[in-house]
Amino acid sequence: MHEKIFFSIIAIVIFSALGYYYCEMSRFAEGVINDAKWRNEVIKTRGKNADTAYAALPDSVHKAAQ
């Protein structure tokens, strides 16, 4: 009886951790996509001067672009 309760608690903890990790990765990916969309808009509006605007972007965008 105690084994079932113990393994049930362990399963709940593991699935909760996986769910939290999935939500955090989804939020991170959404931010990277939004940054990339913003960069594309800058390139469209500024043309050749987009490189200077791209240099001013946060580090997360530079890491995602590599």
**Tens-digit pLDDT profile for residues 12-64:** 999 999 988 888 888 888 888 888 887 777 767 666 555 555 666 666 665 66
Output the pLDDT for position 16: 93
Sign of the C-alpha dihedral, residues 55, 61, 63, 66? negative
C-beta separation of 11 from 23 below 8 A = no
Stated as kind and residue range, the H or E segment containing 58 is none
Structure tokens of 66?
A: 């590599």
**CA–CA separation, 43 and 14 (whole Å):** 44
0.85 surpassed by pTM? no
Count CB-CB contacts under 10 A for residue 54. Answer: 15
